[in-house]
Amino acid sequence: MYAFDMVRPGSVAEAVSALEQDEAQALGGGQTLIPTLKQRLAMPSVLVSLSGIDEIKGVCKTDDGQLAIGGGTTHAAVASGAGDYPALAELAAHIGDPAVRNRGTIGGSLANNDPSACYPAAALASGATILTNAREIAADDYFEGMFTTALEEGEIITEVRFPVPEKAAYIKFEQPASRFALVGVFVAKYADGVRVAVTGASEEGVYRWSEAEAALSSNFSGDAVRDMTVSGDGMISDLHGSGAYRGHLVGVLTRRAVAAAR
């Protein structure tokens, strides 16, 4: 580690002001940023902790029936509070280990946009809206590639709103050491169609599998995607699995997610 200043604002307005300092960086739960600092892959001079901002914590239903989750809400709190969206609650309950779930936040995960993280798949498959201190961003416009999002410098995720589907499920094939998704598939069925989002597989980060969406919108069953295949081209290939292997897993996990959807 190295020397840096720590600021602990009590409101979003104070945090936004603090982030205007040179080389300032927001700190959510720290599950990614702290290891990054230890390896000196990032060296901000000021860390702006968001953990003391109560206005961006909590889970509630909106007037139009969506599930609203504050950006500073921990994975454990999502797991216990998102009962109206069981697939999302179950996803949160299987992120990392208890230490990670009690510190990591949904806003931090979406801001980091790790290519193997779980929440990006949930947000994209749900057609969620990411609210910041400055604007609202549709999930389809938010994810721009591996570790890249539509967030501007100093912008803070204050809330994420999830339309609750008729049926949904998230299935991931875990990398056992990190518990990240080697591949993860989130399937969500709405009145106007089905959305399928894949994480952990593509070199471009989380993405929607449009061919499966079309098939499942016509026939929401495993049979609709039984013969569909995914090419290994453009898929992540590393010591944990080849691109072809990940492509195969996308199809397998999609069928399992459809079978598990409730």
Q: Which amino acid is at 122?
A: A
Structure tokens at 242: 């080849």
Mean pLDDT score of the chain, rounded to an integer?
94
pLDDT band at 207, cuts 50/70/90?
very high
pLDDT over 80 (residue 200) = yes
What percent of the chain is modeled with pLDDT above 70? 99
Q: Cβ distance 226 to 184 under 8 Å?
A: no
% of the chain beyond a pLDDT of 90 = 82
pTM, entire model: 0.94
Write down the pLDDT at residue 4: 79
Q: Tell me what pLDDT residue 26 has.
A: 87
Does the pLDDT value for residue 33 go beyond 80?
A: no
Structure token digits, residue 211 = 């061919």
The pLDDT of residue 39? 77
Closest CA to 122 of 79, 158, 92, 153: 92
